[in-house]
Amino acid sequence: MQLYGLKNCDTCRAARKALPEAEFVDVRESPLDRSILESALERFGDALVNRSSTTWRGLSEDARARPPLDLLADHPTLMKRPLIVEGDRMLLGWTAATRADLGV
């Protein structure tokens, strides 16, 4: 299981604590592989882009209008966190539903 996020994100810290066996990948240091990004976008659509982030607020209107895949490739901190990948299974965010799905 891989957990993609940011090491200084409180939500990611909570997920890491609850899932100590998961391999954590900080997307600032190791951006997501394009194939994982494509799969996540296909599964979650626009929900993958965190439009309440400081990164989003700092983008120009022209930048915001770019395709989500390009935006996330150029600005990995725009991704809603954490993205949890286990084989073909993907979960987004650290919600009650995600925790229940994982049994934590």
**Which residues belong to the active site?**
9
Half-sphere exposure for 65 (CA within 13 Å, toward CB): 3
Q: How far apart are CA 83 and CA 64, in angstroms?
A: 21
Q: How far apart are CA 104 and CA 92, in angstroms?
A: 15
Q: Which of 40, 70, 15, 60 is nearest to 6 (CA)?
A: 15
